[in-house]
Amino acid sequence: MRMRSLVPCVTAAMLACGCVTRVPQVLERKHVPESFMGQVANEAAPTWPAADWWQGFDSAELTKLIALAQVENRDLAIATARVAQARAQLLIERAPLFPQLRLQAKAQRSVTPSNDAKSNSYGLGGVASYELDVWGYQFSNQRAAGELLKSSRFLRQATALTVTSDVANAYFNLLALRERIALAKEDIAAVQGILDVIKLKVSAGASSRFDLEQEVAQIETLQSQLALLEQDEVRARVLLAVLVGTSAQVVEIEGHSLEFVRTPAVRPGIASDLLLRRPDVAQAEAALAAAHARLDAARAALLPQFALTGNGGYTSAAFQTLLRAPNFAWDAAANLVQTIFAGGAFIGEKRLAEATQEEFIANYQRAVLNAYGDVEIALGEIRSYGKAQEHLRRQADAAREAFRIAQLQYVQGTADLLVVLQTQLTLFAAKDELTQMTLSYLQANVHLYRSLGGGWQEEAQERTQLKLVDSALAP
């Protein structure tokens, strides 16, 4: 009898598996390039990022901040909670695949008004029910919940990569602002030195007040720029503190310059492999698989539903005799239910699931295209910003020498103040632009590490776009 009772369950499981359809393979050759246009020229650079890629910038303070963000960042806490929610939802969706058992106990007293007769009844029994998942309705819902759990895990990985990149960018931005503030103060000090010389010349009658007022105006301009930079530095500290999950009063940043920050090299490998290294692409892939499972469930809901129920227990008028054998009774039933008319609700559910799947197909394809575009942009930034940085460095060196010569000539009386002011403005602008370009170059490297997936890789058993490489690149 036990073996016979297992037959319906096994049969149902086999039929359910047979009703599961494959997730549509939606990548085409046009979605996946054969190679990247902007390959990094440094062939000695490692292929694909390491999982701790930020260590390559050789900044102990940055490493400390990222470690703090991985524990305290609130976006990551939200993403972690959503993973727990998805895991709980999977338990809920899995429950209908198992028999449902309920225990019932009752005690009842009744009175007949006509003769004032009183009677008692007691009962103790159980109810078992099981819905045969012949068409895979419940199995598909469980499958959808499982894919959504994967999607939430991948989303957390994508969030972690974003947070890490944002912390690195915010830290470098703070250091750049502090460096620019130091440059501004240095420039103000240089202008103040010239102003002192002018004051002496004006008092001696060797120079006009016009030169004096020009230099005073120059100092005021630089002081206003310094005030704005200092406010930007405060904002940068606050934003960085928010990223690491604390207040600006708590976090202490000791760095003041980008001078000692390294720029680690990395380059992409085979273009098609990028799809297995981007958690946002994997998240979109899992979301598509979940939408397809919901479509399978919507199709199964149109078919007849089968259910088994069984009741058994004891009933007695006296509590003392409740559990005696003669008081035991049982019944069993099988039900077949087919909805004939529901106002189009089931058809609507199926059409909604089909449209949702189309949305997630487009969403997945967009994620793939964005991933490749992201890498190309990052590669282009590194190439262009690197060249610009070299030009600006040479410009700053030339401007520094020109300003030194102009200062000397002005003190000796062989150059007028206008020449000094012009060379000074050129030097300040060149140094400031060089600092900003250095920041852009560092952030371009962070962008490349992020666009290459930050060392993350999708496990083979979690893929649902099984031919995403072969089908995309097949001739």
Give the DSSP letter string of 187-229.
Answer: HHHHHHHHHHHHHHHHHHTSS-HHHHHHHHHHHHHHHHHHHHH
Q: Whole-model pTM?
A: 0.85
pLDDT in tens, the chain (475 residues): 344 444 444 444 444 444 679 999 998 888 888 888 876 656 778 889 999 999 999 999 999 999 999 999 999 999 999 999 999 999 999 988 888 888 888 888 887 777 777 788 888 888 888 888 888 889 999 999 999 999 999 999 999 999 999 999 999 999 999 999 999 998 888 778 777 877 887 777 766 777 778 778 888 888 999 999 999 999 999 999 999 999 888 888 999 999 899 999 898 988 889 999 999 999 999 999 999 999 999 999 888 988 888 888 878 777 777 777 787 888 888 888 887 877 888 899 999 999 999 999 999 999 999 999 999 999 999 999 999 999 999 999 999 999 899 888 888 888 877 788 788 888 888 999 999 999 999 999 999 999 999 999 999 889 999 765 544 444 3
Q: Give the gyration radius of the chain's Cα atoms.
A: 36
In a domain, 159, yes or no: yes
CA distance 55 to 213: 51
In a domain, 128, yes or no: no
CA distance 471 to 309: 48
Give the pLDDT confidence score for residue 42 in this predicted structure. 67
Phi, psi of 28 (to 5 degrees): -120, 170
42 Cβ partners below 8 Å, 6+ apart? 265, 267
| H or E segment to which residue 334 belongs | strand 328-337
In a domain, 76, yes or no: yes
The enclosing domain of 172 has a CATH number of: 1.20.1600.10
In a domain, 250, yes or no: yes
Expressed as residue numbers, the domain containing 277 is: 2-98+133-303+338-473
In a domain, 44, yes or no: yes
pLDDT tens digit string along 175-227?
999 999 999 998 888 778 777 877 887 777 766 777 778 778 888 888 999 99
Name the nearest CA neighbour of 186 among 396, 392, 35. 396
Phi, psi of 469 (to 5 degrees): -90, -55
In a domain, 451, yes or no: yes
CA distances from 186 to 182, 437, 439, 448 (A): 6, 19, 20, 34
Give the pLDDT confidence score for residue 41 in this predicted structure. 59
Angle between helix 137-204 and 279-300 (nearest 10):
150
Give the pLDDT confidence score for residue 2 in this predicted structure. 44
Percent of the chain with pLDDT over 70: 92
Tokens at 257, concatenated:
């310059």
Give the pLDDT confidence score for residue 9 in this predicted structure. 47
Give the pLDDT confidence score for residue 237 in this predicted structure. 94
In a domain, 357, yes or no: yes
Q: Which residues pair with 125 in a beta bridge?
A: 104, 313
Q: Are 436 and 393 in contact (CB under 8 A)?
A: no
In a domain, 432, yes or no: yes
How many domains, in total, are found in the chain?
1
